[in-house]
Copies of this chain bind each other. A is one copy, B any other.
Amino acid sequence: MTKTTEAEGVVSALRALLPLGAVSTEPTVLQAKSHDRSHHSSATPIAVVTCRSTEDVSAAVAVCALHRVPMVPRGAGTGLEGGANAVAGSVVLDLSPMNRIIAIHDGDFDAVVQAGVMKSELNTALEPHGLFFAAGPGVDASIGGMISTRASGMNAVRYGTIRENVLGLTVVLADGSVIRTGSRTRKSAAGYDLTHLMIGAEGTLGIVTEAIVRVVGVPEASVTLICSFETMSQATGVVYQALKREVPISRVELADTAQIVAINRYCGTTFSELPTLFFEVQGRPAGIAEDGATLRVLAEEAGAIGVRTTTGKAEADEIWRARVDALPAAGALIAGASTWSTDVCVPISRLAECIEATIVDVEASGLLAPIVGHVGDGNFHLAIVLPEGDGDVWAKAVALNDRLIVRALSMDGTSTGEHGIGVGKVHSLELEHGDSLPVMRAIKAALDPHALLSPGSVFPQTGRTTS
């Protein structure tokens, strides 16, 4: 049987089981749903199945499993490491329409959602309850996608990553069967932690269709501080002192000089062009007044050049908007350029050293790569600027990123703090976890014996390609 006949057979079988219109082979749809936001290559899938329920996903997986056809699940396609990139001969399962908020349990601080719900949609629904979902990146993303990549963001220093904010999952396994992991309780010691096994498995062990997520009360008051330093280590030193005192920091972000220059140009701000810390402390009025004063003292003792404090919402929003816009600000440095956001994480005590060594490397490479960091976690990102039409820049950028990964690993770090392995970092996973890779592979083989789920991700491809 030819590949085309095989593909037609699978498509027919899918159409027989899925609702009318759910299965598409339209070239524009196949193209649109074949990749995420990374620069990694993707293949054209044989079909895209639009899923609206766990049952749709289960049916689609059962058909593909029967035909031994690889599957690539996707949410909003906002991933940065190619995890949602289609492989040759695959069926893409599009969960983005699964955007129903099933329940909000105000009294238990949890919400039950379908995997396609966007973080912004969830927070909009939670707002009247005085609650919010704290985990995940500043850029909007689907709950399922964030779970699959073990995502994180600016609030991790206080509220944790996705890892600390998911209580249970509904997962469709490689044969189409459905399981529920975890529960709505705050904690459980019952059996293996399959919830956390699935978090960060990037769709390779099962497809997350629903999640029970932890939500928290909206703090009453906020104070924002912005301050600049001569050196990175002065900045990270202040953060250490604040964390030691258990100051309830909800966000603490670092931007290097290049990033501040980009932000000032893009946002029209006039921040000092130096390594800069953005702090936010949230809590109750007397408490945060005390904490804000403490931070100011710590910053000044560490040599801060200018400490600006505000409790005003509009002013704080403007400061944080500038930080959130860091990536587009970097891209705007060169007209028509795109950007590549890298991601490593080191122990906090090595962060300044790692960033400083990276800045030296960036300068030597001739690339433009402003840096932002989640200081409270030791995690930082380069926004590597890729000018259009520059044939050399991609190879230089890949080499820079490879050196960055090696540098982070040499400092007891990890090759990815929050973006995941995808296809882009399979080689890094071997470097970082070579001794435990056999265990990961054994688990993969146990749960997906025919290697049909996201076969291009996490592990080096076993014969399947994205081109």
Contacts and interface: CB of A to CB of B under 8 A. Distances in A.
Interface of A: 105, 107-110, 130, 149-152, 156, 160-161, 163-164, 173, 178-181, 183-194, 196-197, 199-201, 205, 216-217, 219-220, 240, 243-248, 282-291, 294, 343, 345-349, 376-379, 412-421, 425, 428-429, 432-433, 435-437, 439-440, 442-443, 445-447, 458
Contact of A173 (B164, B244, B343, B439): B439
Given A187-B417, A191-B200, A443-B446, 14 more contacts: A156-B187, A160-B164, A180-B435, A185-B413, A186-B376, A189-B414, A190-B432, A192-B200, A193-B197, A193-B200, A197-B197, A216-B246, A217-B244, A439-B447
Contacts of A186: 156, 345, 348, 376-379
A90 to B, nearest CB: 21
A190 B446 contact: no
Which of A240, A244, A287, A290: most chain B Cβ within 10 A? A287
A421 to B, nearest CB: 6
Which of A244, A376, A439, A447: most chain B Cβ within 10 A? A439
Contacts of A187: 150, 152, 156, 161, 163, 345, 377, 379, 414, 417-418
A20 B178 CA distance: 52
A50 to B, nearest CB: 26
Nearest to A160: B164
A445 B345 CA distance: 34
A443 B443 contact: yes
A217 B152 CA distance: 23
A287 B287 CA distance: 4
Given A180-B435, A190-B433, A347-B108, A185 B291 contact: no
Which of A217, A220, A418: most chain B Cβ within 10 A? A217
23 contacts: A107-B240, A107-B348, A150-B188, A184-B347, A185-B345, A185-B346, A187-B345, A187-B418, A191-B437, A191-B440, A193-B196, A193-B199, A193-B201, A197-B197, A217-B243, A219-B246, A246-B282, A284-B291, A286-B289, A439-B447, A442-B447, A443-B443, A446-B446
A154 to B, nearest CB: 13
Contacts of A246: 216-217, 219-220, 282-284
